Amino acid sequence: EVQLVESGGGLVQPGGSLRLSCAASGFTLSNYWMSWVRQAPGEGLEWVANIKQDGSEIKYVDSVKGRFTISRDNAKNSLYLQMNSLRAEDTAVYYCARGSAVAGFHFDDWGQGTLVTVSS
Amino acid sequence: QSVLTQPPSASGTPGQRVTISCSGSSSNIGSNPVNWYQQLPGTAPKLLIYSNNQRPSGVPDRFSYSKSGTSASLAISGLQSEDEADYYCAAWDDSLNGVVFGGGTKLTVL
């Protein structure tokens, strides 16, 4: 059974940093693209970042470019999101998702999410 | 505003057929498959339909999909109370070089 478990969320002040982790199990992480998708309170879904199986290709939504860094450690079955210069508008539940780039791009499994709150 | 446009709400009675529309452009729906996600209250999203009309195992065939040009639709037949959820369309966008979502449609089963 595929399991994705996020951790690292919490309350942080504007301008601060936070590192999210996602522990993957039930599948071979190195065979899949991985992604972060976020959902602000009461709002819809927003894709944040993708990383290819070997880390050789990375993409970000414009609003986080230069502030967020997605990375992975296949040996540790883990995905990460380093978030710097956080803003109030980054407040959201952050989901780790397993991706597939076959015919477009879709997310075929999701974690339960971790809440990031940016507030003074 | 979301890149893909969905109606904010839809409703139907048990047994009815409802459709949810998703409108985009040539850089997303017009040139890439559309995927649909279901988010039950208080839970994480779940893949419902992918690569235009494939369903993951466990998703009933009551859920189907159609696409024409830069628009797509999700159809739910034989509506059930457990279908009450938020539904999101999504697609890869060649111009933005990323995934774009619709704003979501809240489906109410009356």
Q: Are A38 and A83 in contact (CB under 8 A)?
A: no
Are A47 and B100 inside 8 Å of each other by CB? Answer: yes
Tokens representing residue B4 in the block:
């893909």
Per-residue pLDDT of chain B (110 residues; tens, 9 = 90+): 899 999 999 999 999 999 999 999 999 999 999 999 999 999 999 999 998 689 999 999 999 999 999 999 999 999 999 999 999 999 999 999 999 999 999 999 99
Residues of A in contact with B59 (CB under 8 A): none
pLDDT of the residue at A120: 96
DSSP class of residue B5 equals B
Nearest to A59 among B35, B44, B97 (CB): B97
Containing A24, the helix (H) or strand (E) segment is strand A18-25
Question: Closest-CA residue in chain A for B5?
Answer: A44
Q: What percent of chain A has pLDDT over 70?
A: 100
- Residue ranges with strand state E in B1-110: 9-12, 18-23, 34-39, 46-49, 63-68, 71-76, 85-93, 98-101, 105-109
Are A104 and B92 inside 8 Å of each other by CB? Answer: yes
In angstroms, how far is the first alpha carbon of chain A from the final one?
40
